[in-house]
Chains A and B, each alone.
Chain A
Amino acid sequence: GQSLEQPSEVTAVEGAIVQINCTYQTSGFYGLSWYQQHDGGAPTFLSYNALDGLEETGRFSSFLSRSDSYGYLLLQELQMKDSASYFCAPNAGKSTFGDGTTLTVKP
Chain B
Amino acid sequence: GAVVSQHPSWVICKSGTSVKIECRSLDFQATTMFWYRQFPKQSLMLMATSNEGSKATYEQGVEKDKFLINHASLTLSTLTVTSAHPEDSSFYICSARGETSTDTQYFGPGTRLTVL
Q: Which residues of A contact B (CB under 8 A)?
A: 28, 30-31, 33, 35, 41-45, 48, 50, 87, 89, 91-100
Contacts and interface: CB of A to CB of B under 8 A. Distances in A.
B104 A43 contact: no
**Interface residues of A: mostly helix, strand, loop or mixed?**
loop
17 contacts: A30-B101, A31-B102, A33-B104, A41-B110, A42-B108, A43-B93, A44-B107, A45-B106, A48-B104, A87-B44, A91-B101, A91-B105, A93-B101, A95-B105, A97-B43, A97-B44, A98-B43
Contacts of A97: 36, 43-44, 46
Interface of B: 1, 34, 36, 42-44, 46, 49, 93, 95, 97, 100-110
Of B95, B101, B108, which is in contact with the most chain A CB atoms at under 10 Å from its CB?
B101
B73 to A, nearest CB: 20
B43 A45 contact: no
Contacts of A42: 93, 107-110
A13 B105 CA distance: 31
Contact of A95 (B43, B49, B110): B49
